[in-house]
Amino acid sequence: MLLSMDAENVEEKEKEEEILNKQSPEELQAEAEKLKNAANEFFKNADYVKAIELYSQAIEKWPRLAAYYGNRSFAYIKTEMFGLALTDATMALQLDRSYIKAYYRRASANMALGKFKLALKDFEAVVKVKPSDKDARAKFNECGKIVKRIAFEKAIAVEEKPVSETIDLESLTIEGDYSGPVLEDGKVTLKFVQDLLDTFRDQKKLHSRFAFQILLQIKDLFKNQPSLVDIDVPKGQKFTICGDIHGQYYDLLNIFKLNGLPSVDNPYLFNGDFVDRGSFSVECIFVLFSFKLLYPDSFYMARGNHESATMNQMYGFEGEVKSKYPFYFSKSSKMADLFTEIFNLLPLCHCINNKILLMHGGLFRDENVTLDDLRKVDRNRQPPETGAMCELLWSDPQMMCGTSDSKRGVGTMFGPDVTKKFLQKNKLDYIVRSHEVKQEGYEVIHDGKCITVFSAPNYCDQMGNKGAFINITGDDLTPKFTSFEAVPHPNVKPMAYANPLFGLF
């Protein structure tokens, strides 16, 4: 192993020397600086992919400057490539231990992955170098509070009942002036859902009693579903597949406008990441849950990597729930914790007509995984950092063959050969996954066998991408794509409810 690493180091040095022999150091540095400045402009305009490309070119020209790695690390964070962001931040610190921004970048990436103890170490390093820096001290203290809170919650978790067993619906009185949607005999009806769509569109709230009733009912429904749900789409029937929504409620309404409301004759599947980042996540999730209760056999929801406690704490959903239902966030009745219970029960994947497998993330490092293995996954927990459940939620495709460590720092990168073997082994036609922003809202790779669909246009109000959904029919499983632009929404910025510490990066 050491010999291999030494050989790699020698090869890198030889490449550097070869470059230096062609141009003077001054020329290389000047060209690298031009590339970095151009990358900065693309970064400012939220074109992070182009910025990464130019930062990479600057690094090729002059790989000895910590700031280039630090800048690219920040761009990787913006595109949720947290694994690559960690690598770049660490490289920057190897080149310059005093480069403070690299500690922040690494802390930010670790926090995004829920590794708060590692983030705390980097904040501590900054405080030691700059003890009088109030901003650094504030971040250190805030991150320390998160670490302590997690430790405390872990210590008392065994002693507490599930939140779902502590809710007293009778105590949630409906005020006389409430004019919003009403459950009929405690049940979701089509009229209730139509009223709910209008209520949320007008930025009004669903009464907490009905909100809790929906959550308790949906928990019981998901509890009785398997980890892999088989779906039968009859001949001639249209079926719609949507990707990430991420709290973009007004774009969700636009999908229904373009493609029709869900119904028995117009079934849908939403492929994870319903919440976080967008600041209308509460509205999105209650609408989706209501449709699931109304049409349990014609409306499907798969868990995404953002249907987890850590992601919700960082990216806004927990904060949004607390803000919109503040009175009920108490020791005895925590709506955010009830959402966590429900998210733990969401199915992990779906299989349509025994031919299409759908999951939020992707495939597996272990080439022997079968559909039967997925049916047996114990999903009622927070996502683990390895294994099939983790990979279903976090993995991404790559163009080269084989598997490799994830650019996100969690999950697996899988190549076209991995996709082909998995499909052959399980007698499937293709896979559909989400999890990644695509410029047209979708992407088809791996010889047409791996499809990505992403349904949050102009993601976070800055990516400029289209959203998309897929239509198939029971007798024609050929995917048909519809791309759509973002629509206007009320003046509430994305990440408005996110952890304030995360917003400081």
| Fold equal for 2-156 and 193-491 | no
The phi, psi pair for 238, rounded to 5°, reads -80, 145
One digit per residue, pLDDT tens: the chain, 505 residues?
Answer: 444 445 556 566 666 655 555 778 899 999 999 999 999 999 999 899 999 999 999 999 999 999 999 999 999 998 889 999 999 999 999 999 999 999 989 998 998 888 889 999 998 988 888 888 887 888 888 888 888 887 877 776 666 678 898 888 888 889 889 999 999 999 999 999 999 999 999 999 999 999 999 999 999 999 999 999 999 999 999 999 999 999 999 999 999 999 999 999 999 999 999 999 999 999 999 999 999 999 999 999 999 999 999 899 889 999 999 999 986 555 334 899 999 999 999 999 999 999 999 999 999 999 999 999 999 999 999 999 999 999 999 999 999 999 999 999 999 999 999 999 999 999 999 999 999 999 999 999 999 999 999 999 999 998 999 999 999 999 999 999 999 999 999 999 999 998 776 654 4
Q: What's the rounded Cα separation, in Å, for the pair 464 and 46?
A: 9
* Residue from 258, 265, 312, 266 nearest 285 by CA: 312
Task: Give CA 23 to chain center in angstroms.
Answer: 44
Contacts of 255 (CB under 8 A, 6+ apart): 242, 455, 467, 469, 484
Global confidence as pTM: 0.90
Torsional sign, CA 380, 414, 358, 470: positive
pLDDT of residue 392: 98
Strand order in the sheet with 476-484: 299-301, 268-270, 238-242, 467-473, 476-484
pLDDT of residue 133: 82
| H helices present in 97-207, as ranges | 100-112, 116-129, 134-156, 190-201
Q: Virtual CA dihedral for 82, 86, 87, 91, nearest 10 degrees?
A: 150
* Residue from 337, 29, 320, 423 nearest 153 by CA: 337
CB atoms within 10 A of CB 28: 20
The residue behind tokens 């900054």 is 126
In the chain, where are the structural domains located?
A: 2-156, 193-491
pLDDT of residue 2: 41
The residue behind tokens 């493609």 is 259
Contacts of 360 (CB under 8 A, 6+ apart): 271, 272, 273, 302, 303, 304, 305, 392, 393, 433, 434, 435
Topology, domain 2-156: 1.25.40
The beta strand positions in 226-380, using DSSP E, are 228-231, 238-242, 268-270, 299-301, 349-352, 356-359
> Active-site residue among 306, 350, 435, 446?
306
Measured distance between the N- and C-terminal CA atoms of the chain, rounded to whole angstroms: 37
Q: Using the 8-state DSSP alphabet, how is residue 363 labeled?
A: -
Task: Give CA 214 to chain center in angstroms.
Answer: 24
Is 435 marked active-site? Answer: no
Cβ pair 497, 320 in contact under 8 A: yes
pLDDT of residue 419: 98
| DSSP-derived pairing of the beta strands 356-359 and 238-242 | unpaired
Helix (H, G, I), strand (E, B), or coil: what is residue 268? strand
Region of 435 please: left (phi>0), alpha (psi -120 to 50) or beta.
Answer: left
Strand order in the sheet with 396-397: 396-397, 412-414, 403-405
Q: What's the rounded Cα separation, in Å, for the pair 225 and 244?
A: 22
**Residue 358 β-bridge partners:** 350, 432
Helix (H, G, I), strand (E, B), or coil: what is residue 114? coil
Which CATH number is 193-491's, of 3.30.930.10, 3.40.50.150, 3.60.21.10, 3.30.365.10? 3.60.21.10
Helix axes 134-156, 116-129, angle to 10 degrees: 150
